[in-house]
Amino acid sequence: MNLFANWLAAPVVLPLLFAAISLLAATRVNLRQIRFQRTMALVASVLNFAVALLLLRTTAIEGQRIVLYAGAWQAPFGITLVADALSAIMLTLTGLLMLAIVVYSIGTLDERQGMNFFPLLLFLLMGVNGAFLAGDLFNLYVFFEVLLMASFVLLSLGGRPNQVNGGLRYVVLNLIASTVFLTTAGVMYGTLGTLNLAHLAERMALAPESLRIVLAGMLLVAYGSKAGLFPLFFWLPASYHTPHPAVTAIFGGLLTKVGIYALFRIFPLLFPDLLAHWQPFILAVAALTMLTGVFGAMAVKTIRRVLSFHVISQVGYMAMGLGLAASGNQLAIGFGMAAGIFYIVHHMIVKTALLLAGGAAELTMGTGKLEAGHLGGLVKRWPYLAVIFFVAAFSLAGIPPSSGFVSKLGLLQAAMDSGQWMIAGVSLVVSLLTLMSMVRLWQRGFAGPVEATTMPWRKPQRWLTAAPITVLVLVSLAVGIFSAPVFGWAQVAAEQVLDRAGYIQAVAPTDVIAPLGAEH
Amino acid sequence: MIALVFAGLVAVLMASATYLLLQRNPVRMVIGLGLFTHAVNLLIFGTGVSERGLPPIIVDKAAFTGDISQFVDPLPQALILTAIVISFGIVAFMIALLHRRNSLEAIDESCTDRSDDPFAMEPAHTLEHVDEDYEWLEDVVLLNELNPPKRSRR
């Protein structure tokens, strides 16, 4: 047995272990306890990032799949963890973002640091990592719930009125989506007799088409509402602006992308024929998601609400990548998927950087309202923050040489190659509207004279706040300038995701139950 | 036969849950969510049951011939156990949130109109009112203690 596969357990076990240890210190709220929890979170996220890089090297660069059979149980019977290039890319991004968020929250978080914020962050990390590694449908559900549970508490931590209101919406809609997901898992087990993804992929051809359509539709609803796709996104703008900026940033960067990851993983593997049949539908949903997101962003009036709506519009681009994965043109298949994955890479980094910078602006000015007399003039008050916000905003809008430009170019080319002119046009229009929205943010929030007369917040420790944003912006620029190797990894990931036979072969599920006591 | 009973029960639970979820009263909504998760648990349980009274273990291992109709599949039961714990936790958290909301409401006298939205306190149309977004910036207790400015330390 390959001992290297045991590293797969680390992204799940490490955060859990460190969270449990730091909860031991939670008996009293004092400075020593908070410092202990901070150190624990910092150590855990550094270790997690290191393990993720290790996995990235093995999968994305060497092109392998790593499979861990927990407890050495054969594939369909035990818990299986699988990492391929897509999982490793997501794990690495998660590790990077978590590191940035921990540093940022040490710099900016208020009394909520004393409410077990850092252990909750680690539980969130565990859930997200687990969802990226899960090799069967039920564990995917469990890890979804772990991350949702942590996110519920993080969202309402502090219990202010608007947090409670936003939190209730978030909990109800996500619980319904999860229950739909669980129903699908139950029906799948009842009809196909397995939950292991590779085993399901083998057996899915046995199911009648009507059943496959029902299952795929229910999964699309469940994951789509987690990802914030068009008709199901209402929980997101209702809640994302309410918690502390650090929490908003990690949610905006990570959570919807877990839903997108699940779509990218499940649909090519289990329903490749439906992915092709439903291409017009998926592309229509993607286009509507982009448009509603960007129009919503133009209508709202605070900096974090604008950025939350942009999360939705950007999710549309990723769904566009999924839709293009099922192109009739053989050349464009892998390319559309790869462009979608590259877009996820770009988006997670830039969106988190933007939300962090927007949060820092709010903290500095004491308000985030984009109206006269509130936010404004940050160029003069904190020029450095204004500069990095500017770079991140223009990367989001897709101005060369940023990563946003390269990723949008990739999607556009994939759309052109497969002859999808409509979606290409919509994505261009939305890109332009995003640019307009970013310019509006810049004009209202950063340019102009200093208008706010009061500043109730003492300036946060500036380097702790600015350093993680700077790192993320620099990584984003590097992804844009040295896009060839990163796009190469995305292509490896796309090929692995679309290669069903390879996945089944790597996991190697068996139908034979070894008789009890056979090995003696 | 037993499958039909299960199907009917799941259908009734689902229907009641949907009805309750569409109500305006948040407490009914919570009950609806509880019923919804129960319906799904029952559905999964139904996939493993073929006959009444069978145990999920092989009673006589020596006489077992590999005929799976002699016992009940234990896996759905294990799945439900996990699902019950998860949904219980979430519903408990929701009730805590509702309690918090009600206690906040008791403090804040200005909450009157929430006819449009079951969760809205005041104001009802949260997209329009952005003032309360920044309440949290007004009371900062611990941060300055945690991150003392360097100058004051010297």
Provide the mean pLDDT of chain A.
Answer: 86
Q: Which of B146, B151, B152, B153 to mutate to test the interface with A (most CBs of A within 10 A)?
A: B146
CA of B11 vs chain A CAs: smallest distance (Å):
13
Instruction: Please check the confidence at residue A515 and state whether its pLDDT lies above 80.
Output: no
What's the rounded Cα separation, in Å, for the pair A393 and A96? Answer: 19
Predicted local distance difference test score (pLDDT) of residue A275: 85
Q: Which of A141, A149, A175 to mutate to test the interface with B (most CBs of B within 10 A)?
A: A175
Instruction: Please check the confidence at residue A180 and state whether its pLDDT lies above 70.
Output: yes
ipTM: 0.84
Average pLDDT over residues A158-175: 85
A508/B126: higher pLDDT: A508
- B147: chain A residues, CB-CB within 8 Å: 106-107, 460-461, 464
Average pLDDT over residues A178-186: 92
- Token output for B12: 């009734």
Neighbours of A78 (CB within 10 A): 15
Provide the mean pLDDT of chain B.
Answer: 73
- CA-nearest of A148, A127, A93, A101 to A15 is A127
Band of residue B138 on the pLDDT scale cut at 50, 70, 90:
low
Residue position matching structure tokens 């604008």: A306
- CA-nearest of A442, A290, A186 to B37 is A186
Does A149 sit within 8 Å of B89, measured CB to CB? yes
Q: Is B9 on the interface with A (CB under 8 A)?
A: no
Cβ contacts from A onto B, under 8 A: 157
CA atoms within 13 A on the CB side of A63: 8
What's the rounded Cα separation, in Å, for the pair B81 and A31? Answer: 39
Band of residue B124 on the pLDDT scale cut at 50, 70, 90:
very low
**Which region holds residue A366: left if phi is over 0, alpha if psi is between -120 and 50, else beta?**
left
Predicted local distance difference test score (pLDDT) of residue A43: 94
Q: Which range among A69-73, A348-352, B137-141 shows the weakest confidence by mean pLDDT?
A: B137-141
Average pLDDT over residues A320-341: 78
Predicted local distance difference test score (pLDDT) of residue A96: 94
Does B144 sit within 8 Å of A457, measured CB to CB? no
What's the rounded Cα separation, in Å, for the pair A206 and A212? Answer: 10
Average pLDDT over residues A241-260: 90
The 8-class DSSP code of residue A29 comes to -
- A34: chain B residues, CB-CB within 8 Å: 146
What's the rounded Cα separation, in Å, for the pair A467 and A462? Answer: 8
Band of residue A348 on the pLDDT scale cut at 50, 70, 90:
very high
Tell whether pTM > 0.80.
Answer: yes
- Token output for B15: 């229907």
What's the rounded Cα separation, in Å, for the pair A53 and A91? Answer: 8
A234 → chain B, closest CA residue: B127
Does A189 sit within 8 Å of B130, measured CB to CB? no
CA atoms within 13 A on the CB side of B122: 10
CA atoms within 13 A on the CB side of A419: 5
Instruction: Please check the confidence at residue B123 and state whether its pLDDT lies above 50.
Output: no
- Token output for A42: 């910092």
Instruction: Please check the confidence at residue A171 and state whether its pLDDT lies above 50.
Output: yes
Q: Is B107 on the interface with A (CB under 8 A)?
A: no
Average pLDDT over residues A196-215: 89
Instruction: Please check the confidence at residue A122 and state whether its pLDDT lies above 90.
Output: yes
What's the rounded Cα separation, in Å, for the pair B89 and B4? Answer: 30
Predicted local distance difference test score (pLDDT) of residue A260: 93
Instruction: Please check the confidence at residue A238 and state whether its pLDDT lies above 90.
Output: no
* Phi, psi for residue B28 in degrees, rounded to 5: -60, -35
Predicted local distance difference test score (pLDDT) of residue A87: 92
Exposed / middle / buried, residue B73 (Cβ in 10 Å: 0-12, 13-18, 19+): middle
Band of residue B16 on the pLDDT scale cut at 50, 70, 90:
very high
Identify which of A164, A186, A464 has the shortest CB distance to residue B40: A186
Tell me the CA distances in angstroms from A15 to A49, A125, A140, A147, one per residue in order. 11, 7, 17, 12
- B31: chain A residues, CB-CB within 8 Å: none
Q: Quick one: which H or E segment has residue A78?
A: none
Predicted local distance difference test score (pLDDT) of residue A93: 93
* pLDDT tens, residue by residue, A397-448: 888 878 888 888 888 888 888 888 888 899 999 999 999 998 888 888 787 7
* pLDDT tens, residue by residue, A447-460: 777 766 555 455 55
What's the rounded Cα separation, in Å, for the pair A513 and A517? Answer: 11
Predicted local distance difference test score (pLDDT) of residue B127: 42
Instruction: Please check the confidence at residue A518 and state whether its pLDDT lies above 60.
Output: no
Query: Considering chain A, what percentage of its residues have pLDDT values greater than 70?
Result: 93
* pLDDT tens, residue by residue, A264-318: 999 988 988 888 888 889 999 999 999 999 999 988 888 888 999 999 999 999 9
Q: Which of A37, A174, A182 to mutate to test the interface with B (most CBs of B within 10 A)?
A: A182
Predicted local distance difference test score (pLDDT) of residue B132: 62
Instruction: Please check the confidence at residue A375 and state whether its pLDDT lies above 70.
Output: yes
Band of residue B35 on the pLDDT scale cut at 50, 70, 90:
very high
Band of residue A123 on the pLDDT scale cut at 50, 70, 90:
very high
- A106: chain B residues, CB-CB within 8 Å: 147
Band of residue B147 on the pLDDT scale cut at 50, 70, 90:
low
- Token output for A396: 């989001």
Does B93 sit within 8 Å of A149, measured CB to CB? yes
